[in-house]
Every structure is written in structure tokens, then in C-alpha cells.
Amino acid sequence: MCTYLEHPHLLPQTVEKRLFQLDLAATALKSSSLIVVPTGLGKTVIALMVLLARMDKGRVLFLAPTKPLVEQHAVFLQRVLRDRDIVSMMTGESPPEKRIESWGKSRIVVSTPQVIENDLLSRRIDLKDVSLVIFDEAHRAVGNYAYVYIADRYHREAKSPLVLGITASPGSQSEKIAEICTNLHIANIQTRTENDADVAPFIHEREIEWVKLIVPKELLLIRSAIEELLRSRIDDLNLLGISPVRIDVKSSKKELLGLQAVLMSSAKTKANKSTFVAISLLAEILKLHHGVELAETQGPDALARYFQRLEGEALSRSGSKASRRIVQDPRFRRVVDALHSLEVEHPKPAAAKRILLEQIAAKPESRIMVFTNYRDTATSLLNFLKDDPAIRAVRFVGQSSRENDEGLSQKKQAEILQKFRAGDYNVLIATSVGEEGIDIPATDLVLFYEPVPSEIRSIQRKGRTGRARAGRVVVLMAKGTRDEAYHWISERKEKTMNRQIRDLSGEIQESLRMELIPRQLQIIEQKEAEEPGKMQIFVDSREREMAKLLESLGLLVTVKNLEVGDYVVSDRVAIERKTATDFVASIIDPERNLFRQIADLARTYDRPVLILEGRDLYTTQMNASSIRGAMISVAVDYGVPIIPTEDRDETASVIALLAHREMREGREPKVHGHKTARTLKEQQEYLISAIPSVGPAVAKNLLKHFATIEKIMTASLEELQVVEKVGPKIAQRIRELVGGNYKG
């Protein structure tokens, strides 16, 4: 017999009472806590219990990483609380004025973290009266993710802060779990597993099966041909002798990305030609490595789509040089030709279809989720399944769009999920966007199109089934491929994670508390130091990471859209910041136009400053004399001094010193000035230069020859090729853009 939670703010008989949830919530009320429980065991209900106990002490902020999750939590709270009007939802779609109003009148705010971060940086809201912050999917609280900044601001501002982090999978590395706890100011970890006695009654049986498939030898030959290309690039990289480690064809993507980070860091501090050659080779290696993975684990259709994108990048003016070099390699052309003539298929689509049909035949009302790492696979699998009337499948992907691959808006995502719940669709083919937190309680089967080497993602995927009733998990594995390696990596990491969490809940927890003490003392000191005379500064909205760094140096930062400059430190001093790469790019890019920016700065402020950040100023293909000439023009023609800095940290220190100097003289920051509008000539040049394969020089030639944009757009292939520097390829690209049908 069910018993229900009772509380003055809660509608009767709406939330079932489970003792393990009450126990976890009671502990979380004593100190800031990270709660780790398997998916489907009511993490949101635990959050609700803590929320009910704290909401009379002040506003509650409930954060979730995506809009669908925010909507899910807001709808749940409005459904179970007596007064649904005390709950408001804030996402990026809400205008700032509406968010300020919602914040002022609501006792519970459910929001994406990016919105809260933006409003904190823009000084629209503060966290002084917030009694509780809930961080859903708390494993995201690493690096520069918005959770980290919000937690720091909360502990600096709140009178009596309490944090609740909830997740099913914080990761297998104790260092990462410790980082999450440190970033969220958490000193208490509580966990439950499916094997705990008080949890077991609420666990539904979940059967896990592994289906091993044999990849046709013809497809493996194509894989080998791509590996030959890959091996040649790896040999070239290893021969350079500057890589700290030797890599080979079997090196993982994680290892390659780690090496890339090392080389990029090296390029910033001691740039030389060999380093940049190595970076360029590594870009090719990563692209070919991805091709190998698609060939062996996804199949010819996904691989063909990827090759088409590489060819598109190679032809595009803004495309990567790595793509261009790969496409120009004769061996790549042979691989493409072999792929086009291939008459066999990867076994996964047929296996997936067979498993889906078996499930639907056994349980016609089944809801099934198919997870794949790649959008191309989701698209090709959808096409493969659409002819069978028993399978009503839909693709569920993220919001970003690319060529021939339209993303889904959050509204469309919500519509698809609703139709899936209602049974209009019975198969949801999802990429990683479907892994995290979505409430689909009636999923009977989860099919992994491929294993994932991440314990977090594997746990999230498996957690989509076995929530409301018994479920089934099936994992497809291509024998003799990285599928098998990824499976065992994930299994090992998941076991390690459970052990690490148990350990951290015990004696290691004390060391976490000791790590937090200095940080908490620093926050107390910052609170005491905050006073009306604190240095103020305005920071442009595009400089958010620097804004957070400046704030950590003790400045009172306000982020807003600045038409002139990146930072305003007084009524007379404004700063334009350029990295070395930005500086060179803005000399030649008509959209960024260095000299217009500097002219606006010098015209608007009495003491303008340009900060030039980084050492890699002369490592580009631009002539060194041109770069020096641009710097001379900035300093002499426009009278703007240039301050060089080593890196972002030194830039922040310089800005802080400038702000301190101006404050000492009694000067307060004041924003003024507007951008200079482009002339008609500049607008015309910019519009034509934006066409793929057409740069500023070709754009000027076209305009001089045809006189108007209209005549360029109506010119034939032959007429276009009369113009200097316009060959068949550029002419074809212009005609494709102008005459091609829109595929929206």
C-alpha cells in the first residue's frame, strides 16, 4: 500500500513516500550535499523534499542543463504544489525584462544555468535571499560550465547558502568527483545503488543483452584503406620528433585530443614551424580517425555522408586546410570510389530492425529508444526503418543545424517527446541529447547502436528503461572493432565509479572538507571586503569568460552589449582586447575591420587602449611587415597605445590595474559612443565576399566589373569567368548559391 508525502505546500496524495528518499533528503538538509542515485529512483522527489524544507527561508533556485529538463521540473513542481503560481521557468527564450519580473515575484525559479549566469553578470539579479540552489545533472560542474560560476557567486552572496547536487553518474575518477564537490562547495556525498536493501523494492528488472555482429570483409577493406591514409599522417607526425608521445593507428580519440591540447599550448609559448606543422597533421589525423570509426561501427551510408562534408569543407573558402589536404590525396579519391561501388551493408541496421520488430511483436504497445553517437546514423537508420508499418520511428537530435542536417528546436523536441509518450511514435532514435534526464517512464527497450566508452553516458542510456516497469537493454557490437573496446572500458569505469563514490562517502570525505575550508575562508573575506567603493567595470557580453576572471580579482563587473570597445573602466578609458590571432584576422576581415574598431575607440574615449595578447603574432601566413605596419598605424595614426600581454591572466591583471588607477582618481565607468555604420561600398564588398570561395579581393574585382550586386547574381558561368581571379570553381559556387533550390 502506497503512502504519500504530507506538507502544507504540497497537494495531498501526489508524491509517493519512500524511506530512502527521506533519509537522503534529511542528510542533505544538514549540509551541502551531492546525492548519487540510479536513474528512475526519484532524484527530483529528493530535491522536492529538500526544497519544501527550505522554501520558507528564501527563494529556491532549481537549475537543469537543458530547456526540456527545465520544463519537466517546472511542470512537476506546478503539478504537486498547492500554489502553482510560486513556480516560474526561465530560459534563454524569455526576454531579460520578463526574467527580472519572474525573479522578483517567484519563490521557486527553475532555469537553465546559462540564463542565470548571464543575469548575474549583467547585474539583473543577485543570490542574497536564495536559501537553496539545486544543481540537476551535477556531474556537469567542471571546467568553465555555468554551474561553477553560479556556485561561487552563491557562496559569496547568500546569507545562509545550501547546495544540493543530484546525478546518477558523477564519473569514475575520484579527481573529477572531488572537482565537482569543490566547485559546488559540497562536503557531503550520499549514494544509493540498486543493490541497497531500501532501494531494491523499487527496482524493476532490467535485462541486458549483447549482440555481436560480423562486419563484411569488403567494408573492412575500406577501413584498412582509410587506416593507410591515417598511418601516413601519423608517421609524418612522429618523424617531426616534437610530440611528447608516439601515437599509432590504435591510439584513442581521447589520446589524440590530449596531444592536440599539448601542442596548442606549446604553440602559444614557444611557437615554431614544426609545432604548427604538427598541429596541422593532427587535425588530419583526427578527421581520418573518425572515418575509420564510422567505417567499422556505423557503415557505408554514415561514412559517405561524412566524406561529402569533408569535400564540402575542402571547397569552402572558410573550410579547413586539413579537409583540403585529405580530399586532394589520390588515395582518398580511391577510397571514395570504392565506397560508391560497395554492394554490401553494415549488419547493424538489419539487426536493429529485427530486434525492434521482435519487441513490437511481443509487446505491441512498446516504447523503444535507440541511441547512436552520430546524427548521420540516426538519419540513415530512420530511412532504413520507415518502410515497415509496425515501426513508427522519429529522429531526436540537438538544436544545432549544419548543411543538409537540420537540428530540432526545443519546442520541436518537446512535441516529439509528447508524441512518443502518447504512442504516435513507438521508436525514438536519439543522439546524446536523449541521454540526460528526460522523463520517459514507459520505455520497454533501449537499444545501443554502439557501445560508448563513457560510464556516465552508458548509465544515462541504460537508465531510460526499467523505470516504471521491467525493461530490456540491447547493445550492438561489431566484432573485431573498437565497439568491443568501448564496451569493456565503459563496464570497467562504471564499476570503478561505484567504488569511488562509496569511498568518498567515507574517509575520503574528510579530505574534501579540508580542501573546501580555505576556499570558504576566501569567500568570507571577499564578503567582508565588498563595499560601495569597490572598483567597477563594464565588460562586453562577448567577453564573458574574462568577466568571470575579472570578478575573481575583486572587480564589480557588469556585462552589457558595448558598441565600442570590450571593456570600459572609466569615463575616459576604454579597452579593445585582441589576441594575436584576432589582430591579424581583423586586418584582412571586412566584417571585423580593425581600423574601424580602433577609429571608433579613439573617437569616443579620451584615453583608448589596445591590449595585444599572446606571442604568436608572426606565426600566420600574413607578411610580418604588414602586421608591423598595422601596429604602427594603430599607435601613430589613431593615437591608441598598445599594451602587450602574455596570456589571458596577464590581460586581466592589466585591466584590473587600469580600473584601480582610474578609481583612485575618482573616475567612474561610463559607457558612450556608437559604431560607425558601414558605407554602401563596404556593405556591397562584404555581401559578395561572404559567398563561399569568394574573398575580399575577388569581391572587389566582381563589383568593379559588373558595377552592381544584381548583375553579379544574374551573370552566367561564362560571364563570371571573364573577371580576373574568377575561375570555373568560383563561378560554379556563385551559380550554385544563386540558382540552387532552398532545402529548408
* 135 Cβ contact partners less than 8 Å away, ≥ 6 residues apart: 63, 141, 147, 151, 163, 164, 165, 166, 184
Q: What is the mean pLDDT of residues 672-700?
A: 76
- The rounded distance, in Å, linking the Cα atoms of 663 and 461 is 54
- First-to-final CA distance of the chain: 54
pLDDT of residue 435: 57
Domain ranges (residues) in the chain? 19-202, 206-214+346-480, 217-340, 531-664, 680-739
- The rounded distance, in Å, linking the Cα atoms of 201 and 577 is 59
- Superfamily per CATH, domain 217-340: hef helicase domain (1.20.1320.20)
Q: What is the mean pLDDT of residues 308-314?
A: 85
Which CATH architecture does the domain made up of 531-664 adopt? 3-Layer(aba) Sandwich (3.40)
CA proximity to 155, closest of 179, 176, 175, 126:
126
Side chain identity at residue 724, one-letter code: E
- CATH class, range 680-739: mainly alpha
pLDDT of residue 531: 45
pLDDT of residue 343: 85
User: Sign of the C-alpha dihedral, residues 61, 62, 66, 72?
Assistant: negative
Tally the C-alpha atoms within 13 A of residue 581's C-alpha that lie toward its C-beta.
5
Q: What is the mean pLDDT of residues 630-650?
A: 92
Side chain identity at residue 398, one-letter code: G
Percentage of the chain beyond pLDDT 70 is 84
**Contact present, 431 and 398 (Cβ < 8 Å):** yes
- The rounded distance, in Å, linking the Cα atoms of 446 and 208 is 9
pLDDT band at residue 508 under the 50/70/90 scheme? very low
* 293 Cβ contact partners less than 8 Å away, ≥ 6 residues apart: 253, 482
Cα dihedral 155, 158, 160, 161, rounded to 10, equals -40
Q: Which residue has the cell 568501448?
A: 486
Among the ranges given (22-26, 240-244, 515-519), the one the predictor scored with the smallest mean pLDDT: 515-519
Enumerate the H helices of 530-647 as residue ranges: 544-552, 580-588, 594-604, 624-632
Pairwise pLDDT comparison (585 vs 318), residue with the higher score: 585
Q: What is the mean pLDDT of residues 711-737?
A: 88
Say yes or no: do domains 206-214+346-480 and 531-664 share a fold: yes
- The rounded distance, in Å, linking the Cα atoms of 669 and 662 is 9
Q: What is the mean pLDDT of residues 473-479?
A: 88
Q: What is the pTM of this model?
A: 0.70
pLDDT band at residue 41 under the 50/70/90 scheme? confident
Domain 19-202 is found in CATH 3.40.50.1860: no
Among the ranges given (73-82, 272-281, 494-503, 536-545), the one the predictor scored with the smallest mean pLDDT: 494-503
pLDDT band at residue 373 under the 50/70/90 scheme? confident
pLDDT higher than threshold 60 for residue 176:
yes
CA proximity to 364, closest of 407, 427, 303:
427
pLDDT of residue 317: 64
pLDDT band at residue 138 under the 50/70/90 scheme? very high
For helices 174-183 and 146-157, the axis angle rounded to 10 degrees is 40
**Contact present, 230 and 289 (Cβ < 8 Å):** yes
Percentage of the chain beyond pLDDT 90 is 36
- The rounded distance, in Å, linking the Cα atoms of 384 and 300 is 13
pLDDT in tens, 725-736: 888 888 888 888
Pairwise pLDDT comparison (705 vs 443), residue with the higher score: 705
Which CATH architecture does the domain made up of 206-214+346-480 adopt? 3-Layer(aba) Sandwich (3.40)
- The rounded distance, in Å, linking the Cα atoms of 551 and 546 is 8
The winner for highest mean pLDDT among 7-11, 167-171, 314-318, 449-453 is 7-11
* 677 Cβ contact partners less than 8 Å away, ≥ 6 residues apart: none
CA proximity to 463, closest of 436, 498, 497:
436
Side chain identity at residue 410, one-letter code: Q
